[in-house]
Structure 1
């Protein structure tokens, strides 16, 4: 288990991480999400003893990282896939790691096979690796000691779609076997598909945390539903009769109520539905809303010109 308590890290007057607290549980993947510069990497560096905290603490299994005997056997870390010596081969990197951890040489071949680096790729100098190959090697090194905890910073960078799917399956299987995974990213859609818990950070502070559904439920505004039917006019009339706001949306309707209420109204009006879905913006909209003051780009609704050509 990873436990972060009141963590703050300052650089002069700049506060990179501001009183951050959260817990990552065994058997679960925790997504650590935020825009670039939000404080994710700084938090992870403090976790593994590379950056001292200004206040607060992080413990892993009840100990600070620097107090764990042979820590790489207990905590697998990938913070920068490009940090390895470019003149070494992939196999040499893993062999040195195995020797340092007191592992048998056979563990190197196991990890190379696990991350699908071929024998010829393993003999290649890292300076000649693609970013995706460096990520695979970094994941292999993190898993080398068969740790109980994984701390990974942006591990999907450089992976192609097949590689991202492979990584999702690998980390989900690791958590299913009881491992603790902390996975940072600014790629919301990728983390959303694998994370059991999500922590959203902006400007060094936690702005929300919980499961996907609890985050959406906790920040729900007016419910919106998109619906298409064989008789949109009849459905709109039935909904309006119940006092529900309805407006055209493409080939269907946008309705200011929940999907189940729309379904019930359709049954009562004997209207066949051909499409019914939640019309809310989902987690991405919530993420952008909660971290709006950290975004370089203005929301599209603010940036788009009005028909008169002015900014609304």
Structure 2
């Protein structure tokens, strides 16, 4: 279990992490989400002893990271897949890790097979690895000691669609076996698929946290998108039950859950050709809760752009 208690980290007058508290439970994947600069990586660096906290504590299994004997056997960490000696081969990197942790050499072969790095790739030097290969090697190193806790920062970065699915299955299987997973990622749809709990952070503060169902319930009331062979008849049936229905493309947007729309259509004898959940998802909730920290769409950014002269317009006072 990971426990973060009132964690604060400042750099001079800048507060990167501000009084943050949360817990990651065994058997669950916790998604740690936030825009660039929100404090995710700083929090994770404090967890594994790379950055000292200004105030507050972080414990893993009841101990601070530096108190854990042979920590690689208990905590698997991937914060930067490229943070290895560029001149060493993938096999050498894992072999050094295995020796440091007191593991048999056979564990290296097991991990290479697990992350699908071939013998030829394992003999290639790190500087010649693609980003996806570096990620796979980093994951192999994190899992080398068969830890009970995984702390991963953007582990799917650089993976192709097949690799992302593999990563998703790997993490779900790890949690199902009782492991604790803290996963930071910008791939919101992937986090929504794999995470049991989610923590949203912006400007160093927690803006929302909870299980996936309760968080997504905050994104708005139930809604559906539906198309039928007789939309007018469907509107009458829905309005008779007190549901609002408005045009949306070739179909309707309805203020009711899909099951209620389907029930109303069945009772009215209307054939549906499409029916889906129209409630907002994790991406909408994320953007709403972190709106003040987003670069894109931020009012200040728009002001900066409109205040700048275009290339064809000389600045005021400039020579023509």
Look up the match of 2:64.
64
1:7 and 1:13 map into 2 onto residues whose CA distance is: 16
Structure-2 change in CA distance of 1:256 and 1:126 (3 Å): same
The C-alpha deviation readout for 1:119-166, integer Å capped at 9, x for no partner, is 111111100000111111111111111111111110111111111111
**1:168-247 equivalence runs, <5 A:** 168-217=168-217, 219-247=218-246
**Larger displacement relative to structure 2 (62-71 or 182-191):** 182-191
Look up the match of 1:7.
7
TM-superposed CA distance for 1:44, in Å, is: 0.3
Partner SS state of residue 277, structure 1: strand
TM-superposed CA distance for 1:243, in Å, is: 4.1
The C-alpha deviation readout for 1:64-102, integer Å capped at 9, x for no partner, is 000001111110111100110101111111111111111
The C-alpha deviation readout for 1:23-59, integer Å capped at 9, x for no partner, is 1111111111111111110000000000011111000
Partner SS state of residue 147, structure 1: coil
Look up the match of 1:97.
97
Partner SS state of residue 127, structure 1: helix
Look up the match of 1:116.
116
**1:30-109 equivalence runs, <5 A:** 30-109=30-109
**Larger displacement relative to structure 2 (146-155 or 206-215):** 206-215
Conserved in 1, the CA contact under 8 Å of 2:219 and 2:284?
no
RMSD: 1.5
1:8 and 1:160 map into 2 onto residues whose CA distance is: 36
Aligned length: 299
Structure 1 residue ranges without an equivalent (≥5): 304-312
Conserved in 1, the CA contact under 8 Å of 2:220 and 2:280?
no
Structure 2 residue ranges without an equivalent (≥5): 303-320
Structure 1 length-normalised TM: 0.92
TM-superposed CA distance for 1:202, in Å, is: 1.0
Query: Which stretches of structure 1, 4 residues or more, deviate above 4 A after TM superposition?
Result: none
TM-superposed CA distance for 1:242, in Å, is: 4.0
